[in-house]
């Protein structure tokens, strides 16, 4: 996926889905994300299900799962630092 596809996908997500996506891409677990956002882990899981479903519509070559999110979106947030809300959680330096 190219950066334009990722940006187009990202902008279609809700604000909360964007937050969950960013925290997931930084390698946090559902429980850690839930604690950070003051929501239940089951809510994080539901957001991820919706994120993966939407991601499947972007490209046929992408298998939507946690690994894919980390693989594509960690670099995405480094390429677009202005979109990052949780800069202290990013794994890459």
CATH topology of domain 3-82: Arc Repressor Mutant, subunit A (1.10.10)
Question: What's the pTM value of the predicted model, to 2 decimals?
Answer: 0.87
pLDDT digits (tens, 9 = 90+) for 53-92: 988 887 777 788 999 888 889 888 888 888 888 755 544 4
The whole-number pLDDT of residue 81 equals: 84
pLDDT digits (tens, 9 = 90+) for 3-51: 888 898 999 999 999 999 999 998 999 999 999 999 999 999 999 999 9
The whole-number pLDDT of residue 87 equals: 59
60 to 10, 19, 56, 63, 77: CA distances (angstroms): 17, 24, 7, 8, 22
């Amino acid at each position: 996926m190219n950066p334009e596809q990722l940006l187009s996908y990202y902008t279609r997500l809700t604000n909360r889905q964007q937050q969950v996506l960013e925290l997931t891409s930084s390698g946090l677990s559902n429980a850690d994300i839930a604690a950070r956002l003051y929501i239940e882990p089951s809510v994080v899981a539901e957001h991820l299900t919706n994120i993966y479903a939407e991601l499947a519509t972007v490209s046929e070559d992408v298998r939507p799962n946690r690994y894919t999110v980390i693989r594509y979106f960690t670099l995405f947030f480094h390429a677009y630092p202005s979109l990052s809300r949780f800069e202290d959680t990013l794994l890459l330096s």
